[in-house]
């Protein structure tokens, strides 16, 4: 417990973490206070608990329940129930972490306390802000019509969408990133007529090169989703409830409901009002320890600044995988800077599944590498994910790796295939973070089994690395 000065008739109750005056509770003081109870807040708290066993830790959040962020699209398909997508409170309370359901409305960083909506003052020694993100709400005429929805991570709001969707048949999803794509797939699997509108030329273009985004788009089209790329919304029409979407091209699309999945923005207003330094993209500025411009305040997750692992430039990558890293770094360094835990930059590790086929990416795509003036060589390989390929439930795996032409260091990778893609892309992610070369990846020892993996003589990562070395002229 941090030592505090006792003035006049003040006393401190160490057991109950209370500041007292003549035996009357005046305020509560916490060693580590965390604002936000989703992935970033949970992992910050649990990491700090493991490292600092004698510290008092409290998580305060403004919602009774917390959604699994990445599971939200599946509420509208395979789950069909918001309660099946809830993170149980015991993941933190079982670790001797206090949970408070209240909303922080003010941070006083000078005197180190917060004020809540219930007019409580909570004093802290260290503070972690994990307030997440909010859906981007474009200024489109008609956005306030009934049955126009945004993806707020609030169970009651999401349940209302689910109830309303039951009476809808023609749905329009706006946004071709992973949120829009996953919602479109789940709504289509539920029997809805779905149109996906993407402003850019490709869906998932921030994550994949065209060969993979084309594959994903074709899967959606083959399964009945109308995918409209290079399309912009002009207005939403209807009397009281939305009835259609008019594109800038003049085309009108019938819609019983419209779901905006066109990105999110950092939820940083609380930090801004507290006087913390905010970046141009509204994210909270942090260093490699996830410390903000105030020495005793950290920020993690979607609300915090993201810096590319390679370019060191700010990037709009708001992913659970990134939040998990940042939360662990902040929790670990909350009271002492430990050089073994720093954020070296965002890798953009990502995976999804579209109509039975998995897609994964980590690091830079070839297009992104070239746009940033890196001289790169790629390696590709296609193989079946079990051996022999005649085994049941076998899928083809296509992998592409991107290497620096000068050093042979891996800069990124993309994979599509069966469920094994989900873990293979994690191998690529750690390879990027550790600066492994094509030679390293070609010769690393992979565990293989006929029912679980591709053949050891054609393991995808090994083989794609060899393709870059042998066939594509990579200098190693």
For 396, what's the count of Cα atoms within 13 Å in the CB-facing half-sphere? 4
Instruction: Please report the pLDDT score of residue 321 as a whole number.
Output: 86
Instruction: Please report the pLDDT score of residue 22 as a whole number.
Output: 53
Rounded CA-CA distance 158/460 in Å is 39
In the β-sheet with 148-150, what is the strand arrangement from edge to edge?
Answer: 148-150, 257-260, 170-174, 193-197, 226-228
Residue 344 lies in a domain: no
Residue 141 lies in a domain: yes
Phi/psi-derived region of residue 284, left when phi > 0, alpha when psi is between -120 and 50, beta in every other case? beta
Shared domain check, 19 and 127: yes
At CB < 8 A and 24+ separation, what contacts does 456-463 make? 458/381, 458/383, 458/387, 460/381, 460/383, 460/397, 460/399, 460/415, 460/424, 461/399, 461/401, 461/413, 461/424, 461/427, 461/428, 461/431, 463/381, 463/383, 463/399
Residue 241 lies in a domain: yes
Overall number of domains in the chain: 3
Q: CB burial class (10 A; 0-12, 13-18, 19+) of residue 282? A: middle
Shared domain check, 412 and 325: no
Residue 214 lies in a domain: yes
Q: pLDDT tens string for the chain (476 positions)?
A: 333 333 334 444 444 555 555 555 556 789 999 999 999 999 999 999 999 999 999 999 999 999 999 999 999 999 999 999 999 999 999 999 999 999 999 999 999 999 999 999 999 999 999 999 999 888 999 999 999 999 999 999 999 999 999 889 999 999 999 999 999 999 999 999 999 999 999 999 989 999 999 999 999 999 999 999 999 999 999 999 999 999 999 999 999 999 999 889 999 999 999 999 999 999 999 999 999 999 999 999 999 999 999 999 999 888 888 999 999 999 999 998 776 789 999 999 999 999 999 999 999 999 999 999 999 999 999 999 999 999 999 999 999 999 999 999 999 999 999 999 999 999 999 999 999 999 999 999 999 999 999 999 999 999 999 999 986 667 66
Shared domain check, 229 and 162: yes
The SS3 of residue 157 is: helix
Residue 45 lies in a domain: yes
Instruction: Please report the pLDDT score of residue 341 as a whole number.
Output: 81
Whether residue 307 contacts residue 351, with contact meaning beta carbons closer than 8 Å, is answered with no
Q: CB burial class (10 A; 0-12, 13-18, 19+) of residue 167? A: exposed
Instruction: Please report the pLDDT score of residue 67 as a whole number.
Output: 96
Print the domain residue range for 243.
Answer: 137-262
Instruction: Please report the pLDDT score of residue 27 as a whole number.
Output: 64
The count of residues in the chain is 476
Q: Which of 333, 367, 387 is a domain's end point?
A: 333
Question: Both ends of the chain: CA-CA distance in Å?
Answer: 53
Residue 4 lies in a domain: no
Whether residue 397 contacts residue 240, with contact meaning beta carbons closer than 8 Å, is answered with no
Rounded CA-CA distance 159/34 in Å is 27
Whether residue 39 contacts residue 45, with contact meaning beta carbons closer than 8 Å, is answered with no
Q: Which of 262, 286, 305 is a domain's end point?
A: 262
Shared domain check, 467 and 360: yes
Shared domain check, 198 and 142: yes
Shared domain check, 384 and 327: no
Q: Would you call the peptide bond into 388 cis, given omega within 30 degrees of 0 as the criterion?
A: yes
Q: Which helix (DSSP H) or strand (DSSP E) does residue 134 occupy?
A: strand 133-135
Phi, psi of 317 (to 5 degrees): -105, 100
Angle, vertex CA 342, rays to CA 340 and CA 345, nearest 5: 140
Any idea what the CATH number is for the domain that residue 403 is in?
Answer: 3.30.390.30
Provide the 10 A C-beta neighbour count for residue 7.
7
- Closest by CA to 200, choosing from 183, 184, 180, 224, is 180
Provide the 10 A C-beta neighbour count for residue 367.
13
Shared domain check, 247 and 155: yes
Shared domain check, 160 and 255: yes
Residue 70 lies in a domain: no
> What are the C-alpha distances in Å from 21 to residues 5, 9, 112, 242?
13, 6, 19, 58
Shared domain check, 248 and 178: yes
Q: Which of 240, 262, 284 is a domain's end point?
A: 262
Any idea what the CATH number is for the domain that residue 247 is in?
Answer: 3.50.50.60
Strands 396-404, 376-384: pairing is antiparallel
Shared domain check, 271 and 127: yes
Shared domain check, 276 and 244: no
Shared domain check, 305 and 214: no
Whether residue 399 contacts residue 314, with contact meaning beta carbons closer than 8 Å, is answered with no
Whether residue 177 contacts residue 91, with contact meaning beta carbons closer than 8 Å, is answered with no
- Closest by CA to 288, choosing from 323, 316, 326, 319, is 326
Residue 309 lies in a domain: yes
Whether residue 114 contacts residue 104, with contact meaning beta carbons closer than 8 Å, is answered with yes
């Amino acid at each position: 417990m941090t030592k505090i000065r006792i003035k006049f008739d003040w006393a401190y109750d160490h057991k109950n973490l209370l500041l007292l005056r003549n035996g009357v509770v005046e305020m509560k003081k916490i060693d580590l206070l965390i604002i936000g109870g989703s992935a970033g807040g949970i992992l910050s708290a649990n990491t700090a608990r493991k490292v600092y066993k004698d510290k008092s830790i409290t998580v305060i959040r403004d919602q009774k329940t917390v959604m699994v962020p990445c599971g939200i699209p599946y509420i509208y398909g395979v789950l069909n129930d918001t309660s099946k997508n809830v993170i149980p409170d015991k993941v933190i309370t079982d670790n001797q972490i206090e949970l408070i359901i209240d909303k922080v409305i003010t941070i006083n960083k000078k005197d180190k306390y917060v004020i809540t909506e219930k007019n409580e003052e909570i004093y802290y020694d260290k503070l972690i802000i994990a307030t997440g993100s909010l859906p981007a709400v474009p200024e489109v005429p008609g956005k306030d019509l009934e049955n126009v929805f945004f993806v707020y991570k609030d169970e009651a709001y999401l349940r209302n969408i689910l109830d309303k969707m039951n009476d809808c048949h023609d749905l329009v999803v706006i946004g071709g990133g992973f949120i829009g794509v996953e919602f479109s797939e789940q709504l289509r699997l539920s029997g809805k007529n779905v149109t996906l509108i993407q402003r850019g030329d490709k869906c998932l273009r921030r994550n994949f090169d065209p060969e993979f985004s084309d594959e994903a788009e074709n899967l959606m089209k083959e399964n009945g989703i109308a995918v409209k790329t290079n399309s912009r919304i002009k207005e939403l029409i209807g009397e009281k409830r939305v009835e259609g979407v008019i594109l800038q091209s003049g085309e009108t699309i019938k819609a019983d409901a419209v779901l905006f999945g066109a990105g999110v923005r950092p939820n940083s207003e609380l930090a801004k009002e507290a006087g913390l330094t905010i970046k141009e993209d509204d994210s909270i500025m942090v260093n490699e320890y996830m410390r903000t411009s105030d020495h005793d305040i950290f920020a993690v997750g979607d609300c915090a600044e993201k810096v590319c692992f390679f370019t060191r430039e700010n990037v709009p990558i708001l992913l659970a995988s990134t939040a998990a890293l940042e939360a662990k770094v902040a929790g670990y360094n909350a009271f002492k800077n430990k050089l073994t835990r720093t954020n070296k930059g965002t890798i953009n590790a990502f995976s999804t599944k579209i109509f039975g086929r998995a897609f994964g990416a980590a690091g830079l795509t070839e297009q992104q590498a070239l746009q940033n003036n890196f001289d790169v060589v790629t390696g590709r390989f296609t193989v079946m994910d079990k051996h022999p390929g005649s085994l049941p439930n076998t899928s083809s795996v296509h992998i592409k790796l991107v290497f620096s032409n000068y050093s042979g260091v891996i800069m990124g990778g993309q994979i599509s295939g069966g469920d094994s893609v989900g873990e293979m892309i994690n191998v690529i992610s750690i390879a990027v973070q550790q600066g492994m070369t094509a030679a390293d990846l070609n010769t690393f020892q992979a565990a293989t089994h006929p029912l679980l993996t591709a053949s050891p003589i054609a393991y995808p990562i090994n083989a794609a690395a060899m393709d870059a070395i042998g066939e594509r002229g990579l200098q190693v």
